[in-house]
């Protein structure tokens, strides 16, 4: 966590901002969050842990700084309630399978897919900065439940 917070401090310094107690709490909570989170979910965890100065606007302002520092990344696993994020610092890149029925999210890694992306980028003379893949469908449990109720 220390290296991540050092990187965050560096980004803040570059922008002539200070590491406030609230910003540090937001960073620590985002880095330790298990799974994907929305602004509201992150704020709720902060409030429950006693960080009462972590208002929605404060969290919204901090998230782009955390993304810039590479501590978190946007995730396309939206459940209809806006942008979601996940911890990214020193984590291997991964993509997502999302069940459109129950919202279950499965993280996966595919070197074959990564290599194909690099080849496509080279073919069109693109330099990739990042990417996000989300495959949407219905998980096995939801398909089974649908077939039991007469739906395909």
13 pLDDT tier (thresholds 50, 70, 90)? very high
Q: Do 40 and 81 contact (CB within 8 A), yes or no?
A: yes
81 pLDDT tier (thresholds 50, 70, 90)? low
Give tens-digit pLDDT for 29-65: 999 998 889 999 999 999 999 999 999 999 999 999 9
Residue 104's nearest CA partner among 130, 126, 131, 135 is 135
Which of 3.90.1300.10, 3.40.50.150, 1.20.1090.10, 1.10.10.10 would CATH assign to domain 1-91?
1.10.10.10
Q: For residue 81, give the DSSP letter.
A: S
Which of the pair, 93 or 141, is modelled with greater confidence? 141
Give tens-digit pLDDT for 109-143: 999 999 999 999 999 999 988 777 888 899 999 99
Query: Span 88-116, mean pLDDT?
Result: 87
* Domain 92-152 top-level CATH class: alpha beta
What average pLDDT does the structure give for the chain? 89
Distance of CA 23 to the CA centre of its chain: 18
Q: Where are the domains of the chain?
A: 1-91, 92-152
- The confidence score (pLDDT) of residue 72 equals 94
Among all chains, which residue has been given the structure tokens 């979910």?
A: 41
Pair type for strands 134-137 and 105-108: unpaired
């Amino acid at each position: 966590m220390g290296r991540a917070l050092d990187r965050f401090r560096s980004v803040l310094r570059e922008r002539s901002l200070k590491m406030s107690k609230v910003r540090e709490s937001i960073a620590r909570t985002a880095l330790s969050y298990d799974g994907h989170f929305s602004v509201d979910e992150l704020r709720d965890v902060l409030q429950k842990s006693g960080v009462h100065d972590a208002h929605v606007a404060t969290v919204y302002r901090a998230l782009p700084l955390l993304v810039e520092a590479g501590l978190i990344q946007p995730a396309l696993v939206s459940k209809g309630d806006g942008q979601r994020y996940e911890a990214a610092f020193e984590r291997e890149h991964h993509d997502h399978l999302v069940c459109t029925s129950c919202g279950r999210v499965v993280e996966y890694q595919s070197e074959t897919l990564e290599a194909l992306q690099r080849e496509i980028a080279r073919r069109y003379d693109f330099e990739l900065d990042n990417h996000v893949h989300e495959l949407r469908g219905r998980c096995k449990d939801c398909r089974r439940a649908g077939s039991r109720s007469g739906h395909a």
